[in-house]
Amino acid sequence: MQTRHRFLSVCARTVAVALTTLAFVGVTACSAPRIAGRAEQEQELGTCERFLETAQSYSNTMGDANIPLYLRYFTASLAQHDWLNVALQCPSQFGDATMRSAQAQHFTRLAANHFGFAYAPLTVTKLDTVDSLDLPGEALATIALAEDRAGFAAEVLAGRYDSFTPTSANTSSDAEFVRRLASNATLLTMSDNHKEAAARLTMLSKGAQDIRRKVYDTRMLTTSEVNATDPATGLRTRTPAIVEMDCAREQLQHIDDLPASDIATAQSQSSDALLQLSLLIATHAVTAFGLGYPSADYALFAS
């Protein structure tokens, strides 16, 4: 199911500002003095800088354990959208902003579950509504390759989980993790979604060479099907989570390697399609978090 990005209302943002103000008034018992020139400086900020400043402020609140959880939840629900705005408006920030949105989406879902609130995920698993995407065809072909590789890996893991027999090296948690994914065909669904997205991206690549190989290296999948070490970070976590995060990370790297002008062109010519691509990649990261990949900064961003 695809969910388009929705800009939150001015009312919701006003409530967020009010909550933030109340939280800090409660701590300091006094209002902060006006900083001379602050309003004037903000008026001079460009669209990118304004979105970036707002999104970072929300993420800072979300990550502050000293702030009440309800306020962190509310600001995270705003941050998940605002980082998508940054991805579109700041070409050089596309990768980090997409991952920051995924972080905020994950936190919002966890907090919503804690409070018993309904949460509508910003999930995009396919690009079947996208008819054109103004990025270089070669870049789209490499992004399609990452999708295809992840689809193959998920299919291999699905087969191994269906016939999984725990060994002395596996914990009861490992066995339950495998049983849960096998019983609801999670991995097969993931595989199908990846392959469909890969096919769509190949179609959108404007005749660039199709570099999908269909079959890929299976060594990690067959020797460490439950837990593995992420080669990118050295972190030990669930193997399906690494598959999803590697896909997201590789795709963002391909986009970040493009000249900022290419991303700016895509934003001006096909902004909704670029948004769908950002959400697709963010969905891979959110899926990885749900499967056990750490969502903290140390695991996602270079120091």
With respect to residue 199, please indicate whether it lies within any of the assigned structural domains: yes
Could you tell me if residue 33 is inside a domain? Answer: yes
Q: Do residue 187 and residue 287 come from a single domain? A: yes
| Residues facing 228 on adjacent strands | 237
Q: Tell whether 82 and 150 lie within a shared domain.
A: no
Q: What is the pLDDT of residues 215-231, one digit of tens each?
A: 999 999 999 999 999 99
State the pLDDT confidence band at 15, using cuts at 50, 70 and 90.
Answer: very low
- Give the C-alpha separation, 283 to 105, whole Å: 9
Q: Would you place residue 303 in the very low, low, confident or very high pLDDT band (cuts 50, 70, 90)?
A: low
* Alpha helix stretches (DSSP H) within the chain: 10-28, 38-44, 47-62, 69-89, 94-115, 137-162, 172-183, 186-204, 219-223, 239-256, 260-290, 297-300
Number of domains in the chain: 2
For residue 148, is it within any domain? yes
Q: Are residues 111 and 143 in the same domain?
A: no
Give the residue-averaged pLDDT of 193-218: 96
pLDDT single digits (tens) 144-198: 999 999 999 999 999 999 999 998 889 999 999 999 999 999 999 999 999 999 9
Instruction: Name residues whose C-beta falls within 8 Å of residue 48's C-beta, 6 or more positions apart in sequence.
Output: 86, 89, 90, 93
Report residue 148 CA to chain centroid gap.
Answer: 18
Residue 175 falls within a domain, yes or no?
A: yes
- Residue whose pair of structure tokens reads 């593995």 in the numeric block: 228
| 108 and 149 co-located in one domain | no
Partners of 227 in the β-ladder: 238
With respect to residue 179, please indicate whether it lies within any of the assigned structural domains. Answer: yes
Return the pLDDT at 302: 75
Of 115, 149, 176, which residue is a domain's last? 115
- Residue 159 maps to a domain: yes
Domain boundary among 82, 115, 148: 115
Q: pTM for the full model?
A: 0.86
Which of 22-31, 40-49, 246-255, 294-303 shows the lowest mean pLDDT across its residues? 22-31
Q: Establish if 4 belongs to a structural domain.
A: no
What value does the mean pLDDT of the chain take?
A: 89
Pair (193, 78) in one structural domain: no
Same domain, 176 and 255: yes
Q: What is the CA radius of gyration of the chain?
A: 21
Same domain (yes/no): 145, 290? yes
Range of the domain at 242: 137-300
